[in-house]
Structure formats: structure tokens, C-alpha cells
């Protein structure tokens, strides 16, 4: 009886290992100028029948920078990227009931909308000589204004770990921005996933790219775009 009790106690105290996302298939394609790698990944969760598709635009931060695009006219993403000569781009930024931008925006070094604190708007995606993903408090302490920035969120990954407390029931197509170790960052999107699920996906390896910080630039409808342009 004591042996049985000891065995049960051991099993009860054994650490729980969450299901992992495993790469099943992938392919890379270089942009026309060789600056960006477009990566397509097909992933499966190890202990369920869940699948996900992740598409990335990986770029070196030393030769590419961000461009925040004011989309007051409501054009689609593809047209906006072509007009701005962007190599890749995603939706980003919130708006108020009058379609005015909500939250910080810096376009070509000019502040066009001020910093706002909100539950979802927990981060700032910014670019000058480097590319940053910062908490709002971290951004507020910067001494130098970046050339481009947009306030968005929620945060998904921090210190290479999924952020806790994210919504875990409503699956949707999600976009994300992320920075990795070294000189690489990415814009991307994922097929149907909850915010919590996306955080777990992005905290795992995506080929040879390991994310240190990531956020979701949009949660519902958005106003503006964030693109990548050569420096």
C-alpha cells in the first residue's frame, strides 16, 4: 500500500509538459533584392489534431526599416504597399469612432498621434537605427524619438516566452510583428489561432528564427499599415 501511494504521489507531482508545435513542412523564398526571406511554415500540435500555417517576412534590421503608413483613405494593404515601395507589410494601429488614429503614431519622424494607455495597446513597434518592440513604459523613457513608431498590442511573447493571460477561446487569422536575437525581425500572419495559441506558436522555433519579443498589431479593425522598406 505504501508503494502504491508513493507511486501515485510521484505521478501527481510530475511536471506537466504542454503540447508543442512541430514543424511539418516549410519553404523559403528570397525577395527580388535579396533583403527579405519569405518563409511559409506548416505546423502541427504534438498532442492534438490542431494545425496552423505561419507566413513570415524575415528581414535584417541593419538594411531594412519600418514605415508607418497613414491609411486615411482606406485603401487595401497591397495597394498601400506598392505606393510606399514596401517589400512587405501588415495591418496595424487602432482608431476611434470617427476613424481618427488612436494611440502613438510617428511617421517620418513626426508625431501625428499621441501615446495612449489601454488594455490591448501594451506595446510600441518602432524603428530608427534599429527596430524595437517596447512596452509603453519603456518607450516613454526613450531619450531619442524614433523615425517611425506605432502603438499597438497586445504583447504575445516576451523574453522568448508566451505572455500569460491572453484570450484563449476566439480563433481568428492573426498578424504579428516580432524581433529575434541578432539582426533579424519579422512581420507575419498565422491562420486561425487564439491570441494565447499564437503566443505559444511564436515562442517556439520557426525554422532558424527564434523570437524574443512579439506583439499583435491589430485585434479587430485597424486603420493604418506598417511596411518594410530598404534603408
Joined together, the cell numbers standing for residue 53 give: 500555417
Q: What is the pLDDT of residues 54-96, one digit of tens each?
A: 999 999 998 899 999 888 777 888 888 888 888 889 887 777 7
Rounded to the nearest 5°, which phi and psi values hold at 220? -130, -125
Q: What is the pLDDT of residues 156-200, one digit of tens each?
A: 999 999 999 999 999 999 999 999 988 899 999 999 899 999 999
Say if residues 186 and 177 touch (Cβ distance below 8 Å). yes
Whole-number pLDDT of residue 219: 58
Q: 32-36, 92-96, 130-134 — which is least confidently predicted?
A: 92-96
Domain locations along the chain: 22-230
pTM attached to this predicted model: 0.85
Q: Which helix (H) or strand (E) holds 202?
A: helix 195-203
Q: Is the dihedral of CA 132, 204, 227, 120 positive or negative?
A: negative
Q: Which helix (H) or strand (E) holds 138?
A: helix 136-140
Amino acid at each position: 500500500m505504501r508503494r502504491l501511494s508513493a507511486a501515485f504521489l510521484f505521478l501527481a507531482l510530475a511536471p506537466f509538459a504542454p503540447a508543442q508545435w512541430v514543424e511539418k513542412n516549410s519553404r523559403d523564398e528570397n525577395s527580388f533584392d535579396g533583403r527579405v526571406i519569405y518563409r511559409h511554415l506548416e505546423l502541427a500540435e504534438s498532442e492534438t489534431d490542431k494545425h496552423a500555417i505561419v507566413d513570415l517576412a524575415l528581414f535584417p534590421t541593419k538594411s531594412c526599416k519600418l514605415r508607418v503608413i497613414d491609411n486615411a483613405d482606406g485603401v487595401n494593404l497591397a495597394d498601400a504597399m506598392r505606393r510606399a515601395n514596401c517589400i512587405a507589410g501588415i495591418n496595424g494601429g487602432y482608431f476611434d469612432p470617427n476613424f481618427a488614429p488612436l494611440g502613438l503614431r510617428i511617421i517620418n519622424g513626426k508625431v501625428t498621434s499621441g501615446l495612449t494607455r489601454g488594455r490591448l495597446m501594451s506595446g510600441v513597434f518602432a524603428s530608427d537605427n534599429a527596430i524595437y518592440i517596447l512596452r509603453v513604459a519603456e518607450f516613454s523613457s526613450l531619450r531619442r524619438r524614433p523615425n517611425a513608431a506605432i502603438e499597438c498590442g497586445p504583447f504575445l511573447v516576451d523574453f522568448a516566452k508566451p505572455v500569460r493571460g491572453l484570450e484563449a477561446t476566439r480563433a481568428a487569422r492573426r498578424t504579428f510583428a516580432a524581433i529575434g536575437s541578432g539582426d533579424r525581425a519579422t512581420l507575419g500572419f498565422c491562420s486561425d489561432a487564439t491570441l494565447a495559441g499564437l503566443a505559444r506558436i511564436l515562442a517556439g522555433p520557426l525554422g532558424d528564427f527564434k523570437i524574443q519579443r512579439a506583439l499583435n498589431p491589430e485585434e479587430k479593425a485597424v486603420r493604418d499599415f506598417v511596411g518594410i522598406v530598404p534603408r
